[in-house]
Structure 1
Amino acid sequence: MQLQQFEMGSNNLKWLYLAILSLIWGSSFILIKKGLVGLTDAQLGSSRIVLTSIFLFSVGFKSLKQVQRHHWKWIAASGFISSFFPPFLFAMAQNEIDSAVASILNSIVPLNTVIVGATLFGILSSRNQIIGVFIGLAGTLMLIVAGAEFNPNQNYWYSLLIITATVGYALNVNIIKKYLSDISALAVTTGNFLFVFLPALIILYYTGFFETIFSSAEMQLAFFYVVILSLFGTAIAKVIFNRLVQIASPVFASSVTYTMPIVAVLWGVVDGESFSIWQFVAALVILFGVYLGNKRKRQH
């Protein structure tokens, strides 16, 4: 009876977490865009990591007592592939492509989760998942081509940076599920940033950030957006996400990308971004591929 109640509670909780993450991460793309108005991509990426680290260390340092010696190598790997490189990759990409397009490209995370799970972690894929992967990849190619034609002033080769980041996210959810499910989400997240804090601080220092931030109103406003992004979009959201991975399947957790693009596209439209009908069609193709790839795991 207690086990049944626990399973029902976890099932309800995972949908709540999914809704919260969709709202938070769906808004993060417009915050990156606003942050890039006054900061360079290196400044935005590194300051985002540094701020998130400070937030997490202040609330999560004691949770590191849970971490055993065999956990540390996986926490380090998880930290670099999901919390260090992606903030830089997204900032670099959004210098060239719209925030709405970036969010849609990010939606291939579940497809990459299936690919990575099958190739590196021995998680077998169903026929639907394999078909979903190919449909999703076709939709991604359509989106890049349609965007390049509709916005010829934007360099859509930068889309590859976001695709690279999604592979990192896919690796991360599989690592957490397989090797880090026995410690708290806060411990995993705090441990992640323990490894990436110092490299990010060194990068931030060498960008000249500390020399110019106090004399530039534009930088200060941009930095305010990064503060919001760091607190909600990275620190709080990552703890929620890591907990979601622990109580649900990796593919379910990564399916937060279903609804993130809706929030992000709405923000983009409000901010004056243009979006063609073919980009919309490509987005639907991607999401259909994600749906097929996630279908087998729905019962978890």
Structure 2
Amino acid sequence: MKNIDKKWLYLFVLALVWGSSFILIKKSLLGFTALQVGGLRIVFASLLLFVLGIRSLKSLTIQDWKFIGIAGLCSSFFPPFFFAIAQMQISSCVTSILNSVAPLFTTLVGVALFGLALKQRQIVGVLIGLLGTVMLIMAGMEFNPGQNYWYSFFIIASALGYAFNINIIKKHLGHLSSLQVTTASFGVAFFPALVLLLYSNILVTFIDNKAMHNAVWYVLVLALLGTALANIMFNKLIQLSSPVFAASVTYLIPLVAVLWGLLDGEKISFLQIFGGCIILFGVWLVNRKKG
């Protein structure tokens, strides 16, 4: 299969998998705390990746590990915790739409730190996308006064982390396989996540907690499919395409996530949808190729 065909296949599969991740986080939080969901997600994903790719790490150099250490913290350690924390206060629909700022941040980080050239229409696109983000947050505060939209900044911080990760992989780790990059990144995140998970006292509380017994299956699917395997695919997509194209998976993620949210009884206002459309328009403007 040609690379141009593969990248579109990866894009749509990732949109389906990651679009479903938000509802899985929501269901996981019915039994676990945000700290436990984030920790379990990282630990389960890491164990699968160690089985699949631990041998591939032998060829990594000290220079590789330097960049992997930064990328791993930005994309594999902090976001799983941040998303779980945010969804304690914000619906999965809105969380997925806020995550759409990732391509905008990818462009900004690429320009600021990685020598990416920025055209005038891309500057306009970034500003439009950020305006849509503010509108979405403000509309959410009015439509859902019971939700704390200050937690939106956990999603924005995660999107910024993904932006650093994408640019680092594209510029400094392109010579490594997607399995190597993903396994090493979660290797960086594994031990601090395990410490936090044990600190949460999960081993004691899990034994007699039926809610945890039910929720653990959602965490397993989220970790193995939505985190480990999906990250291998995403890192491969970065190598097959451009950083901005890879980040454009967030075009489609909200469509899947909002559908799941509505099926689960969540409500979303017209102004929130409008704000999300403005974000996506800004992302489209940044990515659009002239002609």
Query: Aligned partner of 2:117: which letter?
Result: L
Displacement, 1:69?
Answer: 2.4
Q: 1:239 aligns with which of 213, 219, 232?
A: 232
Q: 2:7 aligns with which of 14, 17, 30?
A: 14
Q: 1:152 aligns with which of 134, 142, 145?
A: 145
1:26 has 2:19 as partner: yes
2:37 equivalent in structure 1? 44
Q: Which runs of 5+ in 2 are unaligned?
A: none
1:114 has 2:107 as partner: yes
Displacement, 1:17?
Answer: 0.2
Query: Aligned partner of 1:246: which letter?
Result: Q
Contact persistence 1:135–1:289 (CA under 8 A):
yes
Q: CA RMSD in A?
A: 1.1
State which drifts further: 205-214 or 255-264.
205-214
Displacement, 1:66?
Answer: 3.2
Distance 1:215 1:129 in 2: 54
Q: What secondary structure sits across from 2:207 in the alignment? A: helix
Structure 1 residue runs of 4+, over 2 Å off? none
Residue correspondence of structure 1 range 199-214 to structure 2 within 5 A: 199-214=192-207
Q: 1:291 aligns with which of 267, 281, 284?
A: 284
Displacement, 1:68?
Answer: 2.1
Query: Aligned partner of 1:194: which letter?
Result: G
CA deviations over 1:113-170 (Å, ceiling 9, x no partner):
0100001111111112111100000000000000110000000010011001100000
Displacement, 1:247?
Answer: 1.1
1:82 equivalent in structure 2? 75
Q: Which runs of 5+ in 1 are unaligned?
A: 1-7
Residue correspondence of structure 1 range 57-96 to structure 2 within 5 A: 57-96=50-89
1:143 equivalent in structure 2? 136
Identity of aligned residues (%): 53
1:250 has 2:243 as partner: yes
Q: 1:128 aligns with which of 121, 128, 140?
A: 121
Residue correspondence of structure 1 range 160-239 to structure 2 within 5 A: 160-239=153-232
1:3 equivalent in structure 2? none
State which drifts further: 140-149 or 65-74.
65-74
Contact persistence 1:66–1:183 (CA under 8 A):
no
Displacement, 1:63?
Answer: 1.4
Distance 2:52 2:213 in 1: 26
CA deviations over 1:224-243 (Å, ceiling 9, x no partner):
10100001110000000000
Distance 1:214 1:256 in 2: 38
Query: Aligned partner of 2:31: which letter?
Result: G
Distance 1:186 1:154 in 2: 38
Query: Aligned partner of 1:72: which letter?
Result: W
Displacement, 1:223?
Answer: 1.4
CA deviations over 1:186-234 (Å, ceiling 9, x no partner):
0000001111111111100010111111211101111110100001110
Displacement, 1:249?
Answer: 0.2
| TM-score normalized by the length of structure 1 | 0.95
State which drifts further: 41-50 or 58-67.
58-67
Query: Aligned partner of 2:244: which letter?
Result: V
Q: 1:55 aligns with which of 45, 48, 51?
A: 48
Distance 1:193 1:160 in 2: 23
Distance 2:284 2:213 in 1: 41
CA deviations over 1:171-191 (Å, ceiling 9, x no partner):
000000000000100000000
